Structure 1
Amino acid sequence: MENELTVTEEQKIIADLLPRPFGRAGKIWVAALSVVCLLGVFAYYRQLRYGLQVTAMRDYVSWGLYISNFVFFVAISLVGSLITAILRIANVTWSTPLTRIAEMIAIAAIMFAAMIIVIDMGRPERLLNVFAHGRIQSPIIWDVVVITTYFFVSLLLLYLPLLPDIQILRAHQVAAVKPFQKLYKFMGAFWKKTPEQHRISSKAISILCITIIPVAFCIHTVTSWLFATTFRPGWDSTNFGAYFISGAFLAGSGAVVVAMFVVRKAYQLDKYITDVHFDKMGRILVLLALLYLYFNVNEYLVPAFKMKEGEGAHLNQLFRGDWALKFWTTILVSMVIPIVMLVFKKGRKPLPMFIAGLMVVAGAWFKRYIIVVPSMLHPFLPMHDVPASYKYYFPSWEEWAIAGGSLAGALLVITLLVRIFPVIPIRETIDEMKTD
């Protein structure tokens, strides 16, 4: 049954959801992120000038912090397909206030995932060789194809639902949106709100939602194959595809929970992002954490049972050696503690959910670091007659600065997108309130 909203009620929703200018805290946030980004740019300049010798990477640990960051960004980016595509196709209407922020996170993450790969190259000018001389037999080419495809599909999934809102932004030229009117005009000049345009747009969004799901699964499966096809202890696994995908959905959902809390607090959107949304996302987070915990048990239990020599040395380091504290802390922080918190209704309130989301995201980053570095420090052939620095790895300040700059850059992109566009879909919100 359709309810009629009065003009006043509709205008109130629009006023609540229009983008807003940065306050003092917002300006400090943007300035801080910009400083971290500039420090990362300076560190990358040093890397370009002096080569990869400024990093702590050597013959054995040749991926290190950069590839850990890459896998983390790819994981976070999968949230777009979970919130926007899977829940939309399942006709889960409560997820509407979360779809746009999920797509913003996905686009920012996939942008910097691609960028960190270029940074990891000692000769970035040779990137064109990947396209000019790439071999389809190589998993690296598969990764390039699916990342590019996923980025453009995510961009369209952000853009198409924005079109009705862009018309609203052009019609309400308040001070907050006036600086971006030329951008809005460029993006939505062709949108006339005709029934035919709405029909085509709705059909296109449905097609994109269906398309992005297999692409999203491919992007992290192919990323896992980059590891699984490399002959290293800890990576020789047929479980890696499912292991990576389940972890990616968990990390992405944790990122959305953090963004929900921050956006709700910053823009006073309690009426639109309610406790019910946190409760439902908490249930999803518990399910995903349990699923990822299962794949972690599966990933480590089978090789631990066999204890082949190379795998045994690697697992001993993780379970009770130099990496044990990091490993068990990461398992507890990213999975066990959030599960215990969120199975209780009180734990699914906004503040506990925010804390659990932070734990999941931080744990996800450290988990990727633990997947990458210890395996490279334990090759099947023992290290002989090499300098001591080859046997250990701790990132140089340039690596930390570049990694921090990439994380700050992703947050800056999300912040600017939230400033320019409505973080909650306006037209969809109005339409849903009419049908409630």
Structure 2
Amino acid sequence: MSERPANPRTSCYHRITGEVVSIPSHFPAPRTWAVMFAGSLLLLGLLVVSLAVLFAKGPGVWGNNIPVGWGFPISNYIWWIGIGHAGTLISAMLLLLQENWRNSLNRFAEAMTLFAVTCGGLYPILHLGRPWLFYWMAPYPNTMGVWPQFRSPLTWDFFAVLTYLIVSLLFWYIGIIPDLASARDRAKKRRWQVFFGLFALGWRGAGGHWLRWRQAYVLTAAIAVPLVVSVHSQIAMLFAAGPIPGWNSTVFPPYFVLGAAFSGFAVVTMLAVIVRSLLGLKDLITAFHLDMLGRMTLATGLMTAYGYAAEAFTAAYAGGYELQTLHDRFFGPYAWSFWGALAFNFMPLQLLWWRRFRVAPVAAFFVGLSVAVGMWLERYMLLVTSLYRDWLESSVHPFRATFWDWALYLGFIGLFLTAFLLFVRLLPVMSAFEIKEEAAESDG
């Protein structure tokens, strides 16, 4: 009696599950991961030293001064929060639009959001000078009767960022539960079974489980999408609501949101190339996914370029201090940050008009890196060029970043990389069950 031939669809599903879910317990590139993790730990050690110096000596170790009271901490805060936007856009918005190409990218994009928002959210706390009193910023009942000014964008920002972090965490965790259960069932060693079993919350894959899971997943996605707009709009209002030349512009909220998505898609592209190469997932993160990421990066980049043009037009139309600030950005002592932002953001970006560059991993990676650098220069330029020249000539004070400014910034990059590498090493880096659903729809 002849054996029944294997179902090719079942074989495909089994391969996808084994390739993705078995990564933590059978990691394909332990040496490369160890080298990268050692480098990230060195940067994380720099963060620990920087924080120790900051707590011992205070914010005076930074280059902040009067009138540049924000400096590196707040520009880096905006940069990190912006990077965290693409994860929610890719995952939540494309889920609601039923775009299946998100399935190979959403898991590590969501993790990137969590780590980037965490890095960004710590900066305002450290910027307080007395970070152990950070809870004073929260609107909680207290015996002193001191409440925040609810008409202030600072208070809106507190609510927006905290809500975004909580919803992003819930959205990521709800999405990963089925794969944690698959990893639990496939694990051979007891420690992996216990580890995945605890976080799988007793998932058995029953019909009722899938029904409630789908409802919770879509509902959280619907909540997360408007938060993408609200978070960076609130940050933009911190600028636009103030009487500072170069900031007081109604174009800032959409300009900031699009710039955040621009930098976020660039970093997701970099991470997709790294994960694809490190874990050997070229058949799951395909040229099509790199092509779509390139298109999204190009589109948001062109929208950001429009924001640059609109900002320059508004300043030229307004005249006075606004025009002086624009001239200072073009030709002043910090003109390098303005022209650097233009060069890094938009010159390599033009390569993405051609598909062969969008699908080439090396080219896509370096375009993403260029955009990340350019958006950091833009945040620096927006802050410093508007603040260092105060209303009185006697109050002009240039800003110069100190060693500890840079050390803290590099340390937070180390924190981000360490967290991301641990995620890649310990958890399923892709949504295996959603990839299988996509394969089933393609076959059907």
Same fold? TM cut 0.5: yes
Counterparts of 1:285-304 in structure 2, within 5 Å, are 285-304=297-316
> Which stretches of structure 1, 4 residues or longer, exceed 6 Å deviation after superposition?
none
Does the Cα contact within 8 Å between 1:74 and 1:113 map onto a contact in 2? yes
Does the Cα contact within 8 Å between 2:184 and 2:192 map onto a contact in 1? no
Q: Determine whether 1:152 maps to 2:166.
A: yes
- The letter of the residue matching 1:380 is W
Q: Cα deviation per residue 1:188-213 (whole Å; 9 max; x = unaligned)?
A: 13212111111111111111111111
Q: Cα deviation per residue 1:247-274 (whole Å; 9 max; x = unaligned)?
A: 0111110011101101101011110011
CA distance in 2, matches of 1:277, 1:345: 12
Cross-structure match for 1:348: 358
Cα drift, residue 157 of structure 1: 1.3
Range with bigger deviation, 40-49 or 19-28: 19-28
Range with bigger deviation, 198-207 or 39-48: 39-48
- The letter of the residue matching 1:168 is S
Distance change (3 Å), C-alpha of 1:361 and 1:26: same
CA distance in 2, matches of 1:312, 1:168: 60
Cα drift, residue 31 of structure 1: 1.5
Cross-structure match for 1:409: 415
SS in 2 for 1:391: coil
Q: Cα deviation per residue 1:312-367 (whole Å; 9 max; x = unaligned)?
A: 332122112222233112112112430x2011122212222112111111111111
Cross-structure match for 2:3: none
Cross-structure match for 1:396: 402
Cross-structure match for 1:76: 83
- Out of 139, 144, 149, the residue aligned to residue 153 of structure 2 is 139
Q: Cα deviation per residue 1:214-247 (whole Å; 9 max; x = unaligned)?
A: 1111110001111112221111111110110010
Cross-structure match for 1:207: 219
Counterparts of 1:10-409 in structure 2, within 5 Å, are 10-17=13-20, 18-20=22-24, 21=27, 23-131=30-138, 132=140, 133-174=147-188, 179-308=191-320, 310-338=321-349, 340-349=350-359, 350-384=361-395, 391-409=397-415
Does the Cα contact within 8 Å between 2:87 and 2:268 map onto a contact in 1? no
CA distance in 1, matches of 2:81, 2:87: 11
CA distance in 1, matches of 2:133, 2:243: 25
Distance change (3 Å), C-alpha of 1:196 and 1:303: same
Root-mean-square deviation (CA, aligned residues, Å) is: 1.8
TM-score, normalising length from structure 1? 0.93
Range with bigger deviation, 327-336 or 266-275: 327-336
CA distance in 2, matches of 1:4, 1:435: 16
- The letter of the residue matching 2:177 is L
Cα drift, residue 75 of structure 1: 0.4
CA distance in 1, matches of 2:293, 2:157: 30
Cα drift, residue 419 of structure 1: 1.2
Cross-structure match for 2:441: 435
Cα drift, residue 162 of structure 1: 0.9
Cα drift, residue 174 of structure 1: 4.6
Distance change (3 Å), C-alpha of 1:11 and 1:311: same
Identity %: 25
- The letter of the residue matching 1:26 is W
CA distance in 1, matches of 2:246, 2:425: 43
Does the Cα contact within 8 Å between 2:344 and 2:370 map onto a contact in 1? yes
- The letter of the residue matching 2:183 is L
Does the Cα contact within 8 Å between 1:71 and 1:368 map onto a contact in 2? yes
How many residues align structurally? 425
CA distance in 2, matches of 1:378, 1:180: 58
Does the Cα contact within 8 Å between 2:47 and 2:414 map onto a contact in 1? no
Structure 2 gaps of 5+ residues are: 1-5, 141-146
Distance change (3 Å), C-alpha of 1:5 and 1:136: farther
